[in-house]
Structures are given as C-alpha cells and as structure tokens.
Amino acid sequence: MTTFTKSHVTGPAYGASGDKPSRRRPGPTRAETLATELAEAITEGRMPPGTTLEEERLAAAHGVSRTPVREALRLLAATGLVEQRPRRGAVVARPEPGRLAEMFQAMAELEAICASLCAVAMTRADKARLASRHAGMAKIVEDGWLDAYRDANVAFHEALYAGSGNGYLAELADATRRRLAPFRAAQLGGRDRLAASHEEHGAIVAAILAGDAPAAAAAVRAHLAATEWSWGVLAGQPSARQD
C-alpha cells in the first residue's frame, strides 16, 4: 500500500505550463510525482469519478512522455483510486454503490480498532495532545468555519490512526479514507451537523482518555454511522457521470 505524502508533492506542477524542470530532485521520480498529483486531484474532487484518463493528454498536460504516465496510472490503479480496463484505458474509479457501502463499513471498523488501540497504547502525553487538538476545534465549530473544520476533521481522524501505534493499520485506514474522499458530499451539512460531529469526537476522546477501549470503539462506530449521510455513499453516485 503506497502512501502519497504531501512531502512528495512538488507544487502545482512545473509541467502545467509546459516547461520541464531544470534542477533534478534526487528522490522522487516523474512517475511518483505524477501519481501524487493525480491522487490529490482525484481526492480533492478536481477529477471526479468516471473521468477518463487519457495517457497522451496527461503526458502533454504534465510535460512528460507516456511512460511515466503509464507507471503513475498503474500505481494509482493498485491504490484503488483508478480503474484500468485491459485495453480500454483508465478512468477515475467509480465503485458500485454496494462497494462504497462496504468500504465505508470497513473504514468504520478500521477506525474503531485504531481508537481501541489508542485507548490502551497512547502515552499520557499523546492523550493530552489529542485532547487539546479536540479542544482547539471547538472554536472552529462556534465560528461555523466549514472548510477549516473539514481539514481539522481529517487531521483529527489521522491522529487517531497514528495514535494506534500501528503504522500498518494506520496506512490501511488512511488509504481507505482517501479512496472514499471523492465521494464526500461537498458540504458537511450545516452548523448543526458540525456541532454534533464535534460532540461525537468528544465522546471518542473521553473514552480514549479513560482508557476504555470498547467504549472508544463504540463511540467511533456511532460517529461514523451519524456521519454516513454526509458522504455520497448511500445517496447513490455523486458529482460526475461522463462515460
């Protein structure tokens, strides 16, 4: 499971304007850079599910040849963000509604496990950090800052993954969340939902602070069950439909 860390991203892409990079970075290869960029474009909704990914077009758009493009697509296909039909090209993955529901359930369970582990494995300092992170989100909720809450929310959940102490598990959860990202409803609902979400977070944090693993798992499941509607998962296909 390859993860695409922000550190791999080199910016808005040199190739957007057609020029190639003069200085060569040591680490990341073109294919990886491309994969990261495409992954972001997909998860952020700029390339909605169903979008066809034509190799030559992508190559031209990023100022590279088809070879790295193909490798990037293979990478994304293995990640699940892209679907490759044998000789019919690649498209941004658009899972069946049933499969989306499966992924959502799996994510809930993965997060529940993470929270359980947090409850028993986190150091006192870690728990304090988590609590303060949660506390910091209160102001965002009061102000009704939707975009900021969305980011902070992702960060909160990723803190849960990291706090499990199990990096592999964290990667699974993160990858699943990323694969579901294109199906989030654009807006999280409204201020009421924001407050409710924050309150549910509070229950999770409390359980973790108390070291109560089963309660933490239950709180996570409840939180995600309540969140479900704010994803496109059960509402049928979202945004794009262009095949």
**Residue 242, interface with DNA (CB under 7 A)?**
no
What is the length of the chain?
243
Residue in 2, 3, 84, 230 binding DNA, rule: CB under 7 A = 84
Q: Least Å distance between CB 18 and a second copy? A: 25
Output DSSP code: residue 24.
P
Choose the binding region for a second copy from 140-148, 154-162, 166-174, 226-234 (rule: CB under 8 A).
166-174
Q: Are 146 and 188 in contact (CB under 8 A)?
A: yes
Q: Which does 77 bind (CB under 5 to 8 A by kind): DNA, a second copy, none?
A: a second copy
228 bridge partner residues = none
Q: Pull the structure tokens for residue 20.
A: 């190639």
**Residue 167, interface with a second copy (CB under 8 A)?**
yes
Query: Where is 168: in which H helix or E strand?
Result: helix 167-180
User: For DNA, which is the closer residue by CB, 12 or 236?
Assistant: 12
Q: Least Å distance between CB 34 and a second copy? A: 12
Q: Which does 162 bind (CB under 5 to 8 A by kind): a second copy, DNA, none?
A: none
**Residue 68, interface with DNA (CB under 7 A)?**
yes
Residue in 23, 26, 192, 243 binding a second copy, rule: CB under 8 A = 26
The CA radius of gyration of the chain, in Å to the nearest whole number, is 19
Site for a second copy in 103-142 (CB under 8 A): 103, 105-106, 109, 113
Q: Pull the structure tokens for residue 37.
A: 């960029």
CA-CA-CA-CA torsion sign (143, 41, 88, 3): negative
Tell me how crowded residue 120 is: count the other CB atoms within 10 A of its CB.
Answer: 13
d(CA 149, CA 85): 37
Distances 75 to 32, 108, 157, 237 between C-alpha atoms, Å: 8, 25, 25, 24
Closest Cα partner for 89 from 47, 55, 65?
55
Task: Give the count of residues interacting with DNA (CB under 7 A).
Answer: 24
Binding mask 37-56 for DNA (x = CB under 7 A): ----------------xxxx
Q: Pull the structure tokens for residue 113.
A: 């496990």
Q: Which does 113 bind (CB under 5 to 8 A by kind): a second copy, DNA, none?
A: a second copy
Contacts with a second copy by CB under 8 A lie at 1-2, 26-29, 31-32, 67, 70-71, 74-75, 77-80, 86-87, 99, 102-103, 105-106, 109, 113, 166-169, 172, 175-176
Binding site for DNA (CB under 7 A): 20, 24, 26, 29-31, 53-56, 63-68, 70-71, 84, 86-90
